[in-house]
Amino acid sequence: MHGPLVVAVTSTSELGRRFPAWSVVPFALMLLAIAVLPLVAGGFWERNRNKALLSVVLGAPVALWTALLDTGALLHTASEYLAFIVLLGALFVIAGGVVIRGTLAGTPGVNAVLLGSGAVLASFIGTTGASMVLIRPLLRANSVRRRKAHVVVFFIFVVANAGGLLTPLGDPPLFLGYLRGVPFSWPLTLWKAWLAVNAALLIIFFIVDSTVFRREDLERPGDLDEIAVAHQVPIHIAGWGSLGYLLALIAVLLVSGTLRLPVLAQTGAMLLVAALCWQTTPRKLRAENDFRWHPIAEVAVLFAGIFATMIPPLAILNAYGGELALHEPQHYFWASGALSSFLDNAPTYLAFASAASGQVGTDAADLGALVTHERGERLLTAISLGSVLMGANTYIGNGPNFMVKAIAEHAGVRMPGFFRYLGYSAVTLLPLFYVVSRTLLG
């Protein structure tokens, strides 16, 4: 999933050896609650206050325990969370001021074009930025349709995850690699995987959506004509000033990485950009986007608990990762991907990149050295693909996933629950990832 953009990573190897195996239980309970409570206590789960209560009950004891063992480790995690949520919040505010107007028809072809555009956009303004800019136009285009949850699910697959593979700006693991010496242009070498995965997902989506669309048209003859008509209002973008703030935010990330600015300076600059955008963007644009704080608040309170409870499992992974039986690129692909589906993919990326550096004899502090080593580059490729692509496997695998889900639900879309979404990803993504691992990493 999406993690924070920070410029230093505290070693947690020693801490991991001080945590017992059962210390992963709070994290497991956090995941179980996110999966089960919406099904058995939907009314309780709707309120962000109750989500915050869950995060406090499970996360606070782990945070206190960590502080007693290593205060620095807790402060490091807190700084990661701060950078993570400020970045997502800034992108949420900026994208809320961009309105795509026009008569968008929610037909399979138009939906596929929107998803394909998001796949390209995600690598340049980040998966969160692309998701926030395009999710509302997608929902408006499909407002007449009754069956549209699958459209949002594929949007999460493509725009919120797989699209951000080509530049360090697209996904936090790649940005952390850039900060640790990986050339800025290196992720472009992943273009074959980016093209293959996104093209396959768009083809699958078009087939599925066409089938659903035809079936719905048969059930409601004539009712869908209004979304299949030719565009009567030209497509155009309002809120270009917000796009300027988006460029400013990207500049902050690049400058902070190049100059290795402290986390507080970086987050302060991002907050300033977001505040200026909020003050100068016309309120009518946000009203047109049906802008609400609930989705980002939901992400903030849930991921506070996730970040706190994942300290022990990440520390244990860091401590014992070198002892794992990982040898081939495929091993690294599936291992980093599996953990990135449930843990924060930025530290997971760094943990496995460090293990790869140890295998090939390079310094983990300079991941750019892996690129100059034939075997090291293959391992880094596998880790990058696994960390970025498999964030789509669960709702908590990537920050934008939950945000998109919350926005869709507030728009009246009945999104699948945690386990049903797992079913979508298992049927659609896992076979595709198997093909990727065999053809591009074999």
Mean pLDDT of successive 10-residue segments in the chain (442 residues)?
A: 40 76 92 83 87 95 94 86 85 83 80 95 86 88 88 96 90 79 89 96 96 78 53 68 86 80 87 94 85 85 89 79 80 92 76 79 76 90 95 86 88 90 94 93 78
- Three-state DSSP class for 100? strand
- Check: CB of residue 80 under 8 Å from CB of residue 260: no
Amino acid letter, residue 125? I
> What does DSSP assign to residue 373?
S
Pairwise CA distance, residues 320 & 403, whole Å: 33
Q: Which residues 6+ apart lie within 8 Å of 339 measured at CB? A: 317, 348
> How many residues are listed for the chain in this entry?
442
Which residues lie below 8 Å from residue 137, measured CB to CB, with a gap of 6+?
100, 104, 114
Coil, helix or strand for 7?
coil
Structure tokens at 74: 């807790």
CA distance 442 to 435: 10
- Backbone phi, then psi, for 236, in 5-degree steps? -150, 165
Give pLDDT, residue 7.
37
Interstrand relation of 99-101 and 236-238 (parallel, antiparallel or unpaired):
antiparallel
Cα distance between residue 132 and residue 129, in whole Å: 5
What was the pLDDT predicted at 3? 41
Give the pTM: 0.78
Q: Which neighbouring-strand residues pair with 100?
A: 237
| Angstrom distance (rounded) from CA 77 to CA 377 | 29
Best CA proximity match to 252, nearest among 404, 72, 94: 94
| SS3 (DSSP) at 229 | coil
**247 three-state secondary structure:** helix
Q: Calculate ∠ Cα 66-35-330, nearest 5°.
A: 75
d(CA 45, CA 106): 30
Q: How is residue 130 written in tokens?
A: 């692309």
Q: Would you state the structure tokens that stand for residue 387, as one six-digit string?
A: 């960390």
Q: What are phi and psi of 238, to 5 degrees?
A: -110, 150
- Cβ count near 208 (within 10 Å): 16
Helix ranges restricted to H, 260-341: 263-280, 283-288, 294-309, 311-320, 329-340
Q: Round to whole Å and give the CA distance between 161 and 164.
A: 6
* Whole-number Å distance between alpha carbons of 189 and 173: 15
Looking at residue 234, its pLDDT comes to 65
CB burial of 294-306 (b: ≥16 within 10 Å; e: otherwise) equals ebbbbbbbbbbbb
Give the bridge partners for 238, in sequence order. Answer: 99
User: What is d(CA 110, CA 411) in angstroms, rounded to the nearest whole number?
Assistant: 19
User: What is the identity of the amino acid at 189?
Assistant: T
CA 126 to chain centroid: 9
Q: How far apart are CA 154 and CA 164, in angstroms?
A: 15
